[in-house]
Structure 1
């Protein structure tokens, strides 16, 4: 049974109205996840007990809950209780350290929308959260504007500008580019790219992903000459890095 431990210090960053709650007994792990998600322009509050989360939720609602507990039964019970007590369509992401199919299916059957395996990859955590939020709150997400240096992304219009100058892109190219910038400095797996941009449906040809990424690289000038490097990660996926200092040409 999960022990009731009072709420510890919040880790908050006011980049966006989208608010994430993390339920985890491990304060260091919760803090690490919050740091990743605040970088992704969300507010993040960490809790160590379900009662404290529920109390705060009914004062100031959250948009997504991450449940990261090591005990599978606690995790299943908490997900089930959240679904019983909260009528709002709150997306739940479960974090698990096991490949055991019964435990994963039990958590999903209790009401979790998705899951991630430990050890967590920073880019994948941010991306899975982004996908769940986009699915649950399309109207809010579509109205967002994201700025990364001279690059500005307007989700409502699938529009990208560089220093105010528009760049012509298809919808999938736009989604790919935004995915890379929101995970700047972190590798993104090919499966995550497909889940995020192709909605879990694998392109007919494996080269489709590479072709789209090549176009994004060219259109947005993501090369060392312009301070960025979009490169493949062998056997895994891709990674966008911003080159600074001695890394820049």
Structure 2
């Protein structure tokens, strides 16, 4: 599954470098030229990884990072990509909440490897086993089908992708743009009613309700979240 990455840097050359390597690897990159814009973006969008320059207009990378750690329940992995190389700066970046610290300039292949590693550590990449079990729900990733109590539920391809995406991200708010990019291959709002209609069908066909352990909730002004009502295992 592609990774959705936000990068904020006031150096267009760096933005182009990161965007080129991510798109070439099949991922999505959304670029911002200042800290204020990326801060506003992470308030309303879902990203698998956020890469920040330290010194930017609007807000510094450290300020954006600190705000996210204090105000987002489950923040995405953050990587500092900066020319500041002193040990004190590296320690400050990591202590503020960054999961990695990359000193510019850096090879494109290394940057890609760091981003993909951060996404894996953030558990945003679904595992590749054939079967995944969630209470009475089983996902068959080879046959692309859902089974509930052992009975196959007929879903369209897009409905299956949506359902699997929610189960892979239980309790994680997913923005509309993220859902579009992961299922339809674009972050553009192709039609709000298209997404709402598909989610309504997934809810209905899979009987997602508290009695069955899972519910897709609307997060107003943002997107949706799959909540679990299963008791934790002892």
Q: Normalising by structure 1, report the TM-score.
A: 0.47
TM-score, normalised via structure 2 length: 0.50
User: Does 1 or 2 have the higher relative contact order (CA < 8 Å, sep 6+)?
Assistant: 2
